[in-house]
């Protein structure tokens, strides 16, 4: 049996364990083990029996070297986890024929965030003294998975001056 052709599924959930990591590293496993009345039951499921979403959240074309192409939606798909080569049907566009999915386990590149616009509702501010900053973090649902980071606050006037 080729273990790369199977995924571990947590019985009673829609959770699948991907990649070759110690089981205790998965948050869902930790939560089940900490619950006194829970029994951990796993099943080996053939990888090809799982329907992956056609457009995973973080996908790059194999021809593009290392640049992320985030998708326009925020649905978490099984396809967004694990280093899986997505294959499409013959009728699918060639543009999406070979996508490589980027796993959060292997996210070792710097993350670039580009803010196209910001909206401030019902606030009066002065461009010369109002300071803005961006705070980012990684979340799963409402739970923070790591420390958040914040940019250096700058005035709106300085922000406008530095824009191209």
Mean pLDDT, rounded, of the chain = 66
Beta bridge partners of 73: none
Tens digits of residue pLDDT in 5-24: 888 888 888 888 877 788 88
- Are residues 118 and 105 part of one domain? no
- CA pair distance 67, 59, nearest whole angstrom: 9
pLDDT for 148: 86
- Residue whose structure tokens are 């250096």: 152
Q: Does 128 have pLDDT greater than 50? A: yes
- Are residues 151 and 105 part of one domain? no
Task: Tell me the two tokens of residue 5.
Answer: 């052709």
- Are residues 126 and 163 part of one domain? yes
Domain count along the chain: 3
- Are residues 62 and 41 part of one domain? no
Q: Which of 50-59, 119-128, 149-158 is most confident?
A: 149-158
- Are residues 130 and 150 part of one domain? yes
Confidence of residue 122 (pLDDT cuts 50, 70, 90): low
Please give the residue range of the domain that contains residue 72: 51-110
- Are residues 104 and 55 part of one domain? yes
- Are residues 32 and 4 part of one domain? yes
Q: Which of 38-42, 56-60, 104-108, 160-164 is most confident?
A: 38-42
- Are residues 106 and 73 part of one domain? yes
Task: Supply the Cα-derived Rg of the chain in whole angstroms.
Answer: 21
Cα–Cα nearest to 107, from 81, 125, 86: 81
- Are residues 8 and 24 part of one domain? yes
- Are residues 37 and 58 part of one domain? no
pTM, 2 dp: 0.38
- Are residues 56 and 37 part of one domain? no
Helix (H, G, I), strand (E, B) or coil at 136: strand
**Distances, alpha carbon 121 to alpha carbons 124, 125, 150, 158, in Å:** 9, 11, 22, 21
- CA pair distance 136, 158, nearest whole angstrom: 21
Q: Does 70 have pLDDT greater than 60? A: no
pLDDT for 71: 39
Q: Is 82 left (phi over 0), alpha (psi -120 to 50) or beta?
A: left
- CA pair distance 104, 25, nearest whole angstrom: 13
Q: Does 32 have pLDDT greater than 50? A: yes
- CA pair distance 149, 63, nearest whole angstrom: 32
- Are residues 119 and 105 part of one domain? no
pLDDT for 77: 36
- CA pair distance 77, 75, nearest whole angstrom: 6
């Amino acid at each position: 049996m080729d273990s790369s052709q199977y995924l571990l599924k947590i019985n009673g959930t829609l959770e699948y364990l991907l990649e070759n990591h110690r089981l205790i590293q998965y948050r869902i496993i930790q939560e089940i083990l900490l619950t006194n009345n829970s029994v951990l039951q796993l099943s080996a499921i053939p990888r090809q029996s799982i329907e992956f979403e056609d457009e995973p959240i973080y996908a790059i074309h194999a021809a593009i070297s290392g640049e992320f192409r985030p998708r326009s939606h925020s649905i978490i798909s099984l396809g967004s986890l694990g280093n899986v080569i997505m294959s499409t049907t013959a009728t699918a566009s060639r543009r999406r024929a070979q996508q490589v999915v980027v796993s959060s386990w292997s996210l070792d590149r710097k993350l670039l965030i580009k803010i196209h616009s910001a909206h401030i509702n019902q606030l009066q501010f002065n461009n010369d003294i109002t300071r803005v900053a961006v705070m980012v973090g990684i979340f799963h649902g409402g739970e923070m998975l790591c420390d958040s980071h914040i940019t250096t606050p700058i005035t709106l006037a300085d922000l406008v001056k530095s824009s191209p």
